[in-house]
Structure 1
Amino acid sequence: MYRKAIYPGTFDPITNGHLDIIRRASSIFQEVIVAVAESASKSPMFSLQERKEMIEIALKHMDGNISVQSFDCLLANFAKQNGVVVLVRGLRAVSDFEYELQIGYANASLNKDLETVYFMPSLENAFISSSVVRSILTHQGKICHLVPFEVCRYLQEKGYVCSA
């Protein structure tokens, strides 16, 4: 039985869809590491520290079997360093499948013990992506229904307009 899993991503910012997958993974695995990628090549809107803070605030009310770590290396190596052989990934739509399949195969080629488990989001979260949230946030639109309440409040404290 697998005890630990990693849920990796940029989480720029964390959304209700991410939270849904974290909640469900934490009910299956004894420990879930939410692994926040540095992802400098993606030019994230929020710093690594801000993204970690948002995740930690969003997870405060959840069980203690979830931790948050950042990484700036190959995910396959990060998994090996943490003694983890299961990755959790989300699939929102068919368009995600091809990309996720390639990433899953690439990770398995780098670490033969690594398995990837795919979660479909709940129906109400199927359309949410961090890029959609960033776009709405950039145009001062309402995002409080797309991100955890605590994250919306965090962003408002940072000067972002999150609700119209």
Structure 2
Amino acid sequence: MTIAVFPGTFDPITVGHVDIVTRAASLFDRVVLAVAHNSTKTPLLSADARVELAAQATAHVPGVEVLRTDGLLVDFCRAQGADAIVKGLRGGADFDAERPMALMNRSLSGIETVFIVGDNGLSHVASSLVRDVARHGGDVSGYVPQGVAEAIAEALA
């Protein structure tokens, strides 16, 4: 059984994330969407809310499990028996940011990172932009799975 971990803060989960995890599920037997705490970020949504929303958004994808993780990603990957880390790329800037992390993770654990190029039609969708649009009263429902826009609105209220 091949296992991949798809880590992120998912604050909030977007249709781009769902695209990546769906395609990863066609490559691996099991994909663990790891909702992470990032000490350099202040999330809009609580970790529990992010886990719940991600689980709802990916419930239709066979072989996907959503778990929370705190701490070093490679330790989480070892605990899951992961063969790979999955990262989505929207463009060159994402690759430039992800490459050093992939090299560090491989150096620490031997676990390879598999990059999946995101759908070109979704390349403008980013959690940070979704939060910004929502903060300014914009409609984000086209960029997030069902129920997420409402959770964002509640968090901002």
For the superposition of Structure 1 and Structure 2, which TM-score range results when normalised by the shorter chain?
over 0.9
Mapping for residues 1-164 of structure 1, pairs under 5 Å? 3-63=2-62, 65-112=63-110, 114-156=111-153, 158=154
Q: Distance in 1 between matches of 2:56 and 2:156?
A: 17
CA displacement 1:27-61 (0-9 Å, x = unmatched): 11110000010113311111101111110111223
Deviation at 1:159, TM superposition (A): 6.4
What is the RMSD computed on CA atoms of the aligned residues?
Answer: 1.6
Deviation at 1:6, TM superposition (A): 0.4
Between the two proteins, the alignment pairs up a number of residues equal to 157
List 4+ stretches of structure 1 deviating above 6 A. Answer: none
Tell me the TM-score normalised to structure 1 length. Answer: 0.89
Work out whether residues 134 and 152 of structure 2, in 8 Å CA contact, stay in contact via their aligned partners in 1: no
CA separation of 1:102 and 1:74: change in aligned 2, threshold 3 A: same
SS of corresponding position for 2:40 = helix
Work out whether residues 140 and 160 of structure 1, in 8 Å CA contact, stay in contact via their aligned partners in 2: no
Q: Structure 1: where are the runs of 5+ without partners?
A: none
Could you tell me the percent identity over the aligned residues?
36
Tell me the TM-score normalised to structure 2 length. Answer: 0.93
Q: Distance in 2 between matches of 1:155 and 1:99?
A: 26
